[in-house]
Structure 1
Amino acid sequence: MEPVALDEIAGAAWRTVESPSASLNAETDQTVRCDPTRLQQLLENLYRNAVEHGGAEIAVTVGEVADGFYVEDNGLGIPEDKREEVFEPGYSTATDGTGFGLRIVKQVAEAHGWTVRVTESDAGGARFEVTGVEFADH
């Protein structure tokens, strides 16, 4: 575990996603105590999920909540009755999806002692909130 600037790791994770028309906005200046490799993996999986299900021109935002951070998009969102199911191994609505991306997100969060939940973004897309995060400046 080490201190990591959330906006910097958010940008590094974004550079691994292949979608030149999509955009990322990191609205945070928090420093998170984490395993940087695993946090980057968590973010990459959330970004890929957004692009795969929301389209090439999706807008993704990383921001702060009181005890953590969120990743949200302006895509189609996740129906309320499917929000817990998306973390189950093998669950995917994509024809070529493995169903492990969001499961890995949950596993990385839990390994850090964090909680992850799905809700709806202000734009109607998916919003993943990661809470229980330890900030380096707290």
Structure 2
Amino acid sequence: MEATPDGSESHREEVLSDRNDRLRDLIRSISHDLRTPLAVAKGNVELARETGDLSRLDSAEQALARATELLDHLALLAKEGEGIHEPDPTDLGSVAEAAWSVVGREEATLSAEVDLVVSADRQRLQQLFENLFDNALTHAGSDVTVTVGSLEGERAGFFVGDDGPGIPEDELTAVFETGYSDDSGGKGFGLAICERIAVAHGWTIGAVERADGGARFEVSDVEVVGR
């Protein structure tokens, strides 16, 4: 078939190529985000078997429910491209606590003294927090302190910071690239997922330097609907 004068055939090929790229990214996203709840479920089942503590099965069931929930929402994302559910008034602190209950570790600390109600897809917001928390636990150590707070001044939004080694200045933008690889040798998809979730909401996310060390991610252009 010959390309039409207006280049529509070329445009169609570009669209298909772009869709294939997004599909590959989505497959990586699914693999990345399912790993944590499945690992939690596996660990709790093993502990239940070893100790006879059947309450561990409740934790495993919750983790598997979260994995199912992620599959449902990722399938929606694949179907609708940038799709999120209709945003609702969402308490930021409670979502942060829910995310920490999934990925947090006993020796780590979460400080989420934030009093904001924002317009958001709650499940997507929790996914964003889970990935930011997991990033801190991976790079700052298992005893990290993670802080969630409100942005001050005219910028409406929130931040997630940690007391780890921080991010080199020349990598503050690169960390959001799909498949970004740092000195640890790991392939990063979590922050790329965070950026996609933020963009789907119309938010802006960025990594910033901290004079006192540690990593800090700021999410701005957020619609705050209450405190």
Contact 1:6 1:32 in 2 (8 A): yes
Match of 1:5 among 70, 79, 91: 91
| Structure 1 residue 122 displacement after superposition | 5.4
Q: Which residue of 2 aligns with 1:74?
A: 163
Q: Against the structure 1 CA distance between its residues 56 and 101, is the aligned structure 2 distance closer, same or farther, given a 3 Å change threshold?
A: same
Higher relative contact order (CA 8 A, sep 6+): 1
> What's 1:52 paired with?
138
Q: What TM-score results when the alignment is normalised by the length of structure 1?
A: 0.94
SS at match of 2:124: helix
- Supply the RMSD in Å over aligned alpha carbons: 1.4
Structure ranking higher in helix proportion: 2
* Structure 1: distance between partners of 2:99 and 2:211: 23
**Partner of residue 201, structure 2:** 112
Structure showing greater Rg: 2
Secondary structure, counterpart of 1:50 in structure 2: helix
- What are the within-5 Å matches in structure 2 for residues 1-138 of structure 1? 1-65=87-151, 66-93=155-182, 94-95=184-185, 97-121=186-210, 123-137=212-226
Distance 1:50 1:118 in 2: 13
Structure whose residues are more often strand by fraction? 1
Unpaired runs of at least 5, structure 1: none
Q: How many residues align?
A: 137
Q: 2-side partners of 1:55 and 1:41: how far apart?
A: 21
5+ residue gaps in structure 2? Answer: 1-86
